[in-house]
C-alpha cells in the first residue's frame, strides 16, 4: 500500500476513544488552501455522500479563520494540509482547532514544520523525490482514507472491505496509467503549448483534481488562463463558450457520476475540436470494486496529470517551479 | 418586504410539525443547476456556518440523481429551483425527493410548471418584468431566508431578529445601490466590451453571486471566457495569472470574510490595472446588523450586477437572451 494505512487506522481509533466521553465525532473539517484544499475534495465528497450523521465541511483556511462554523469544537476532527507546513492561514487554523480541543490531523511533507506544532497527529505522503516521474498523487488518497476510516469506526461503512482492497490496487493502476499516458502527453504538450486559455472539466468525488489542474498547474505554474467547470453545470451556462477553438481537458470518472462527464464529452465531440480526454476507465481503474471506485479517481487523475504537466512545462520551457509572485513578493 | 416571508414562516412551521414524529429535520439539500444552484450559495453557507446539527448540502441536480447521499430521505428538506420549472434534472430530483418522503420546497417563477408537480410547497420570486431595471435579485434571498427560518424554528437562531430586520431593509439598499452604480456600469461596459476573458472574485456567503456572474453572464449570455476565483484561494495559485492586462470583477463583501476580499484587492491595486470593484459596504449595506450582514451581500451583488450586465449587453450589441446551444440543440 502506498499510504500509511495502519497509522491512519490507529489515529482514528485513538481519536474515537478520546472523543467518546465528549459525545463522539460529529463533524469533520477539511481545512487548507489551493492545491492542498483541492486534495481534500474526495474526502469531503465521501462523507457528504456516505455518512448518515457526521457533517463534513471543506473550507479555505482563511475563510475558516474569519467565518468559523458554530458547530466547530471538541466534537470535531480537523484535517489540515500544507506541503511545506508553513502556509500562514493553515497554521493559524490548526492552532485555532488545537486550542478549541478539536482533534487535529496534519498532512504535510515537511516534518517539524510550524503546522505540526498544532497537530495531534501528523501523516506524511510521498513527493516527487520519492516516486520519480510523478508529483504527489497519494496526497488526495490520505484524506479520503481518513474519511473512510472515520466512517468505518463510527457509523460503519458497508463497503470498507472493498475500499481497503482498492487501496491495495491503486498504485499498480496508477503506474500502468502513467506509462499508458506518456505518448499522448507529448502530443498534448506540442498541440497546446501556445494556448492562452484551457478549461478543465470533471464531476463527483474527482472534481478536485480538475480544480487543482486548473488553479495550480495552468494558472499558477504555467500562467495560462483557466477555469474548472463541473460537467453537470456545463449545460447550464458554461457550454455557451464552446466553439472549435476553445480548449478543454476533460476527465471522465469511473463510478456514479460517469454519466455526467460522458454527456459533456458527447457535446464536445459535436461542437468542439480541441479537447483532451482523460478517462479513468480506459486507464484501468475498473479492477477496483464499483461500490468504491468513485473515491480512487482523484488519485489516478492526479498521477496522470503529472505526466501531462511535466511534458507541458518542458515543451513550453516554463518550469513548474517558476513563480512571479508566490514566495517572492508580499501578499 | 420583497419576498413572501410570512409564507416561508408557515411552510417551515408545517414541515417542522410534519417531521416531528419522524425524528425532525436533519438535513437540508439545495438542489438545482447553473444560476439556480448559485442562488442557493448563501443559504447553504448560512446553515454550514450557523447550524449545530442540521446538515446542509448544495448539489447540482444531475450529480444528486447519480450520486444520491445516503442520509437523504424522510428527515430531509429539499429545496429545488428552476426559473422555468422545466430543467429536466431538477424536475427528476424533485420527483426523487418527493417519492422518498422528503419535504420538497420548489422555487420557480413559473406556476404550474412540471417542477411544481413534485413540490409540497412552491415559493415564487420577482423577475425582470415585475421590477423593471433588474433581473431576479430576490432569488437568492428566498432560499437563505428558508434556511434562517429552518434554523430559527429548530435549533434556534440567535440573530433571527436582526435577520428579519435585514429583510425589511434590503430592498431600499438595493434600489439605492443600483442608482449609485448606473454611471460606473456605463464606464465598465465601454472599457471592457472587447474583452475575451474576465475573472470574477468573491468569498464567503456571497461567493455564489461571483459564480453566477461568471458562468451565466460572462460565459452563457456574453460568450466571454471567465472563471470565478475564491478570494481566499487567489493567493494559492490563481494570482499568478495576474498582470497589467488581466481583467477582474471583484466583489468586496461586508461581514466576516471582508478581510479576504480586501487582501485580494490590495494585491490587484499593486499588480493589476484593469479591475472593477463592487463593494457592498460602499453601496450602503452596513445599515443591516453586522451579525447577519453576510447573508445579504449576495442579493445586493446580484442586483448591482444586473445594472452592469444590461449596459454590457447593450454596448456589445449582444442581448442577454441570445444563445447558440441552450434550448436550441440537443444536449
| Tens digits of residue pLDDT in A268-310 | 999 999 999 999 999 999 999 999 999 999 999 999 999 999 9
* pLDDT above 60: residue B253: yes
Banded model confidence at residue A136, pLDDT cuts 50, 70, 90: confident
Banded model confidence at residue A206, pLDDT cuts 50, 70, 90: very high
Looking at residues A185-211, what average pLDDT do you find? Answer: 98
Mean pLDDT of chain A: 96
- For A232, A263, A264, A267, B101, the CA distances from A270, given in Å and listed in that order, are 17, 11, 10, 5, 40
Burial level of A244, CB count in 10 A (0-12/13-18/19+)? exposed
CB contact under 8 A, A89 and B49: no
In whole angstroms, give the CA distance from residue B97 to residue B76.
9
CB contact under 8 A, A215 and B224: no
Nearest beta carbon to residue A225 from set B52, B66, B197: B197
Residues of B in Cβ contact (< 8 Å) with A233: 33-34, 37, 60, 215
Nearest beta carbon to residue B326 from set A214, A223, A240: A240
Burial level of B110, CB count in 10 A (0-12/13-18/19+)? middle
Looking at residues B214-227, what average pLDDT do you find? Answer: 98
Helix, strand, coil percent values for chain B (each to nearest 5): 50, 15, 35
Better pLDDT: B150 or A130: B150
pLDDT recorded at residue A79: 98
Nearest residue on chain A to B232, alpha-carbon basis: A62
* pLDDT above 80: residue B282: yes
Nearest beta carbon to residue A69 from set B48, B67, B233: B48
Looking at residues B232-242, what average pLDDT do you find? Answer: 98
In whole angstroms, give the CA distance from residue A262 to residue B62.
12
Return the bridge partners of A121, or none. A105
CB contact under 8 A, A240 and B219: yes
Q: Residue B143 contacts by C-beta under 8 Å, 6 or more apart in sequence?
A: B30, B39, B40, B42, B43, B79, B81, B107
Banded model confidence at residue A133, pLDDT cuts 50, 70, 90: low
Looking at residues B127-152, what average pLDDT do you find? Answer: 84
In whole angstroms, give the CA distance from residue B183 to residue B262.
23
Give A60-74 pLDDT, tens digit per residue. 999 999 999 999 999
Residue B184 distance to chain A (closest CA, Å): 26
Residues of B in Cβ contact (< 8 Å) with A326: 235, 239-240
Q: Which residue's entry shows cell 442540521? A: B54
In whole angstroms, give the CA distance from residue A51 to residue B44.
18
pLDDT recorded at residue A154: 98
CB B266 within 8 A of CB B297: no
Nearest residue on chain B to A64, alpha-carbon basis: B257
Residue B181 distance to chain A (closest CA, Å): 25
Banded model confidence at residue A82, pLDDT cuts 50, 70, 90: very high
Top residue of A62, A76, A255, A324 to mutate, by most chain B CBs within 10 Å, is A62
For the packed helices A297-315 and A41-50, what is the interaxial angle rounded to 10 degrees? 160
CB B224 within 8 A of CB B198: yes
For B95, the 3-state DSSP assignment is helix
pLDDT recorded at residue B59: 98
pLDDT recorded at residue B138: 87
Residue B135 distance to chain A (closest CA, Å): 16
pLDDT recorded at residue B34: 98
pLDDT recorded at residue A130: 56
Q: What DSSP designation does B81 have?
A: E
Q: What is the pTM of this model?
A: 0.97
Top residue of B209, B211, B220, B236 to mutate, by most chain A CBs within 10 Å, is B236
CB contact under 8 A, B230 and A67: no
pLDDT recorded at residue A17: 98
Give B22-66 pLDDT, tens digit per residue. 999 999 999 999 999 999 999 999 999 999 999 999 999 999 999
Residues of A in Cβ contact (< 8 Å) with B236: 33-37, 87, 215-216, 220
* pLDDT above 90: residue A220: yes
Residues of B in Cβ contact (< 8 Å) with A221: 240
In whole angstroms, give the CA distance from residue A63 to residue A12.
26
Residues of A in Cβ contact (< 8 Å) with B33: 232-233, 235-236
Burial level of A230, CB count in 10 A (0-12/13-18/19+)? buried
CB contact under 8 A, A325 and B239: yes
Give B14-33 pLDDT, tens digit per residue. 999 999 999 999 999 999 99
Residue A1 distance to chain B (closest CA, Å): 28
In whole angstroms, give the CA distance from residue B204 to residue A126.
33
Q: Which conformational region is residue B264 in: left (phi greater than 0), alpha (psi within -120 to 50 degrees), or beta? A: alpha
In this complex, how many residue pairs, one in chain A and one in chain B, have their CB atoms less than 8 Å apart? 192
ipTM over 0.95: yes
Q: Residue B266 contacts by C-beta under 8 Å, 6 or more apart in sequence?
A: none
In whole angstroms, give the CA distance from residue B159 to residue B266.
32
DSSP B28-50: EEEEE-HHHHHTTHHHHHHHHHH
pLDDT recorded at residue A137: 81
Looking at residues B182-202, what average pLDDT do you find? Answer: 97
Mean pLDDT of chain B: 96
Looking at residues A80-92, what average pLDDT do you find? Answer: 97
Q: Return the beta strands (E) in B20-169 as ranges.
A: 27-32, 55-60, 76-81, 103-107, 121-123
In whole angstroms, give the CA distance from residue A45 to residue A308.
26
In whole angstroms, give the CA distance from residue B326 to residue B220.
9
Strands B55-60 and A103-107: what pairing?
unpaired
From the list B55, B38, B256, B222, the residue with the least C-alpha distance to B137 is B38
Percent of chain A with pLDDT over 90: 94
CB contact under 8 A, B238 and A227: no
Residues of B in Cβ contact (< 8 Å) with A230: 60, 63
Banded model confidence at residue A238, pLDDT cuts 50, 70, 90: very high
- Alpha helix stretches (DSSP H) within chain A: 5-20, 34-38, 41-50, 61-66, 88-99, 128-131, 141-153, 160-192, 207-212, 258-271, 297-315
Looking at residues B231-249, what average pLDDT do you find? Answer: 98
Residue A171 distance to chain B (closest CA, Å): 25
User: Lowest-confidence range among A200-204, B115-119, B126-130, B183-187?
Assistant: B126-130
Query: What backbone phi and psi angles, to 5 degrees, belong to B328?
Result: -110, -40
Amino acid at each position: 500500500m502506498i499510504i500509511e494505512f495502519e497509522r491512519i487506522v490507529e489515529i482514528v481509533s485513538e481519536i474515537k476513544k478520546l472523543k467518546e466521553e465528549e459525545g463522539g465525532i460529529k463533524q469533520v473539517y477539511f481545512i487548507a488552501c489551493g492545491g492542498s484544499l483541492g486534495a481534500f475534495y474526495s474526502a469531503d465528497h465521501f462523507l457528504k455522500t456516505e455518512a448518515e450523521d457526521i457533517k463534513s465541511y471543506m473550507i479555505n483556511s482563511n475563510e475558516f479563520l474569519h467565518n468559523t462554523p458554530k458547530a466547530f469544537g471538541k466534537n470535531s476532527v480537523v484535517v489540515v494540509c500544507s506541503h511545506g507546513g508553513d502556509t500562514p492561514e493553515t497554521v493559524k487554523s490548526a492552532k485555532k482547532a488545537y486550542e478549541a480541543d478539536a482533534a487535529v490531523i496534519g498532512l504535510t511533507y515537511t516534518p517539524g514544520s510550524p503546522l505540526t506544532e498544532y497537530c495531534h497527529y501528523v501523516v506524511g505522503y510521498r513527493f516527487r523525490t520519492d516516486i520519480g516521474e510523478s508529483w504527489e498523487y497519494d496526497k488526495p488518497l490520505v484524506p479520503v482514507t481518513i474519511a473512510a476510516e472515520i466512517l468505518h469506526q463510527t457509523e460503519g461503512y458497508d463497503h470498507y472491505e472493498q475500499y481497503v482492497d482498492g487501496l491495495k490496487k491503486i498504485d499498480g493502476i496508477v503506474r500502468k496509467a502513467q506509462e499508458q499516458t506518456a505518448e499522448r502527453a507529448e502530443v498534448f504538450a506540442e498541440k497546446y503549448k501556445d494556448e492562452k486559455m484551457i478549461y478543465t472539466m470533471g464531476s463527483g468525488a474527482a472534481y478536485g483534481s480538475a480544480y487543482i489542474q486548473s488553479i495550480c498547474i495552468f494558472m499558477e505554474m504555467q500562467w495560462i488562463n483557466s477555469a474548472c467547470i463541473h460537467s453537470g453545470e456545463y449545460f447550464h451556462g458554461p457550454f455557451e463558450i464552446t466553439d472549435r477553438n476553445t480548449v478543454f481537458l476533460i476527465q471522465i470518472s469511473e463510478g456514479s457520476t460517469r454519466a455526467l462527464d460522458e454527456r459533456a464529452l458527447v457535446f464536445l465531440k459535436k461542437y468542439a475540436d480541441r479537447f483532451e480526454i482523460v478517462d479513468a476507465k480506459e486507464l484501468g481503474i475498473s479492477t477496483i470494486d464499483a461500490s468504491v471506485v468513485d473515491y480512487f479517481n482523484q488519485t489516478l487523475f492526479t498521477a496522470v496529470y503529472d505526466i501531462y504537466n511535466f511534458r507541458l512545462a518542458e515543451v513550453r520551457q516554463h518550469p513548474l517551479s517558476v513563480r512571479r509572485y508566490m514566495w517572492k513578493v508580499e501578499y
